[in-house]
A = this chain, B = another copy of it.
C-alpha cells in the first residue's frame, strides 16, 4: 500500500504498472491479488487512505476558532506540502483526470470535494452551496494544480491571500 501510494501519486495511476508496484514493494504478485481484487481496487484503496489523511488534517484545523485564522492555517499547511520535493499536486484532482467518471475511484474523488466544501462552509458559517464556498474550492484546486505544474509554491501563498480576502469580505 505504501509503495502503491507513492508511485500512484508521483508517477500517476495509468503510468504505474502492477509489476512496478510489486517490484518496489518487494512482494509477490499473488500477495497483491490476495489482498486486492485488482488494480482498480488498489487505486480505490490508495485514494481512500489519502482521503482519510486529508480528513484528519481538516479535523485538526477545527480547533482553530477564528475563521480567517483557520483558513490561514489551512493554506499554510498546503503551502508547506507544495514546498516539498515530492509534491505532485492534489491526489484527487489528479486521479479525476486518469480514472473513468463512473469508476469507484471517481466516487472517492467526489467524496473528497464534499469534505472540502463542508470544511469551508463550516469555517465561514454558510451553506455548502454558497458562492464563497465555491470560490474557496477554486482557490484550493487552482493553487494545487498551478503550484505543481509551474513548480512554484508561492502560488499557494497567493491563493491563501485570496482566500483570506474572501473570508474578510463577508
Residues of A whose CB lies within 8 Å of any CB of B are 12, 14-15, 89, 93-94, 96-98, 109-110, 113, 131, 134-135, 137-143, 145-146, 148-150, 152, 154-155, 158-159, 161-162, 165-166, 169
Which residues from chain B contact A113 at a C-beta distance below 8 Å?
146, 149-150
Q: Which residues of B contact A131 (CB under 8 A)?
A: 158, 161
Please, how many angstroms separate the alpha-carbon atoms of A154 and B117 in the complex?
Answer: 14
Query: Which of B15, B149, B162 is the one whose CB lies under 8 Å from A14?
Result: B15
List, in ascending order, chain B residues with CB within 8 A of A139's CB.
138, 142, 162
Q: 20 extra interchain contacts, Cβ-Cβ under 8 A, other than A131-B161, A141-B146, A162-B166?
A: A14-B15, A15-B98, A96-B145, A96-B149, A97-B97, A110-B150, A113-B150, A131-B158, A135-B158, A137-B146, A137-B155, A138-B142, A138-B146, A138-B155, A140-B142, A141-B142, A141-B145, A142-B159, A162-B162, A165-B165
Task: State which of B15, B145, B161 has its C-beta within 8 Å of the C-beta of A93.
Answer: B145
